Structures are given as structure tokens and as C-alpha cells.
Chains A and B, each alone.
Chain A
């Protein structure tokens, strides 16, 4: 079953603008991750934020996490045409044995960057 729900489902912006995508989830998590998928290919890991973190940066990416609202946002600054892709949030719950369990993905936001 899907835990995360991304919003919006699709987003089209001009190159150079900032893109913001939101994700909501339902159960308690150990961490939340964002992935990018180009044209139905494999997923590329973008960033991981732990449940005890509120904000994280990686290059042009900024992720926030609000565990009280069970929500996260991904901000891509100064967008480029190459950022055109689908973006997914995924939540992880720690396996009782200590390792990572299967990720629960949202349905994704399709981002189009217009040149």
C-alpha cells in the first residue's frame, strides 16, 4: 500500500525557477528519502533525512521534515531542463533486526522544466 502522497501530481515551471514538492505519510518512520526517476528507468537516490532531523541540504536540493504533521518537502532551486523527471518520497521503518526494511513509496510528482 502507498504511504506517501506527493503533491502536486504534476508541476511545470520555467528553467531557473524553484520547484517545491510535498509529501505526506501516515505512520511513524525511521527516515524519509527522496528519489528521482527519469522516463520509467531506475531510481536515483537524492537525499535521506532522519526522523530526528528537520532540514537537510545537498547541492541545489533542500529537504524539510515535520514529523508532527507527517510531511516533508523537497525544494529544487535554480531548476534546469535536466531536472525533468518524476520525484518520489519513500519512507522507511527500522526492521526489528536492526537493518533497513522495504521502502514505502508515494505515487510521485512529475516535474517538467521548460527551457
Chain B
């Protein structure tokens, strides 16, 4: 069974640009989570989508947004990039309901560098 996949693996952008990151969850999972792992700040929860809706978001500005498609894949968009947005962006998926919904399975991440 395929795991969580993310694309691209690496990305270099300049300040002020916009970026879109993509994530495909494990088959059967309806929830997708996005996390940012920036140097010195650790892993921070960004967004949670389930059944196409945003369920919760972390403490990030509105220029971080995303969506979930009918096939449960998801995009993370970051507008007006800032240098401090340089980080590893991790996507995770899980079932929504039941005990098994509490385990999140992570993809390999997209490493974003903002110059």
C-alpha cells in the first residue's frame, strides 16, 4: 500500500512569490494535516482538512491556506513568501473517525527555501 506522497521534494523561491505544495493521502484516509518544520522552531501544526473542509488551523497568518479535493488530496498555498517560510513542510493523513483516526502517517516532506 502506498504511503503519503508529497510533491515537489525541493523548491527554491524568492521573497514575495507564491508557492503551492501538494499531498496525496494514504488510500482510505479522509483527513490531511499540514505541518511546518522550521529550523529552531520545531514542528508546528498548520492546517487540518477533512471531507473537503478546513477543520482547524494553527497559529499561522492567512497567507497560509489550502484546500482538499474530492479525492482527498490536498494543496498548501503560501502567498507573499518571507525568508522565515524556509522550512520542511510535512503532510500527514489519517482516518477521521474511530480509534485508528488518531495515528497520523507522514509523507517525506517538501523542503522550501526562500531567498
A contacts, CB < 8 Å to B: 1-2, 30-31, 33, 35, 40-45, 48, 88, 90, 92, 95, 97-108
B interface, by DSSP: helix, strand, loop or mixed? strand
Contact A98 B42 (CB under 8 A): no
Contact A100 B102 (CB under 8 A): yes
Q: Residues of A contacting B81 with CB < 8 Å?
A: none
11 contacts between A and B (CB under 8 A): A33-B102, A42-B4, A42-B90, A43-B92, A95-B56, A99-B96, A102-B35, A104-B45, A105-B42, A105-B43, A105-B44
Contact B58 A48 (CB under 8 A): no
Q: Residues of A contacting B31 with CB < 8 Å?
A: 99-100
Contact B106 A42 (CB under 8 A): yes
Q: Using a Cβ–Cβ cut-off of 8 Å, how many residues does chain B contribute to the interface with A?
A: 33
Q: Residues of B contacting A97 with CB < 8 Å?
A: 55
Q: How far is the CB of A93 from chain B (nearest CB, A)?
A: 10
Q: Residues of B contacting A102 with CB < 8 Å?
A: 33, 35, 45-48, 56, 58
Q: Residues of A contacting B35 with CB < 8 Å?
A: 102-103, 105
Contact B42 A48 (CB under 8 A): no
Smallest Cβ-Cβ distance to B59: which chain A residue: A1
Contact A45 B104 (CB under 8 A): yes
Contact B101 A88 (CB under 8 A): no
Q: Residues of A contacting B50 with CB < 8 Å?
A: 99
Q: How far is the CB of A18 from chain B (nearest CB, A)?
A: 25
Given contacts A99-B50, A101-B56, A102-B56, contact A45 B103 (CB under 8 A): yes
Smallest Cβ-Cβ distance to B102: which chain A residue: A100
Q: Residues of B contacting A106 with CB < 8 Å?
A: 42
Contact B88 A40 (CB under 8 A): yes
Smallest Cβ-Cβ distance to A94: which chain B residue: B102
Known: A48-B103, A101-B48. 6 other contacts (CB 8 A): A35-B106, A42-B107, A99-B31, A102-B48, A106-B42, A108-B42
Q: How far is the CB of B21 from chain A (nearest CB, A)?
A: 14
